[in-house]
Amino acid sequence: MENKEFKENKRNKEYQVGDIVRTKKVHPCGSKLWEILRVGVDFKLKCQGCGHVITLERPKALKIITKNETRE
């Protein structure tokens, strides 16, 4: 449990505005890459395929983001 929380916290800090992230979900346009427009209580993500912008609650965003392309 403690390990998991530590990991989540670490992941939170890794995301910054402008980062490109990969998600579990594929957008209907076929893209899996999103640019982070906002981090905070909500995450705002812009699809790199079609430019569509979505807003997700932080826990949901952290759940679907699988990789930070900018920092790895």
**Site of interaction with Zn ion (CB under 5 A):** 27, 29, 31, 47, 49-50, 52
Q: How far is the CB of 70 from Zn ion (least distance, A)?
A: 19
Under 8 Å between Cβ of 21 and 34? yes
Q: How far is the CB of 44 from Zn ion (least distance, A)?
A: 14
Nearest to Zn ion of 15, 23 (CB atom) = 23
Q: How far is the CB of 26 from Zn ion (least distance, A)?
A: 9
Structure-token match 């992230």, residue found: 21
* Alpha-helix runs per DSSP H in the chain: 2-14, 58-64
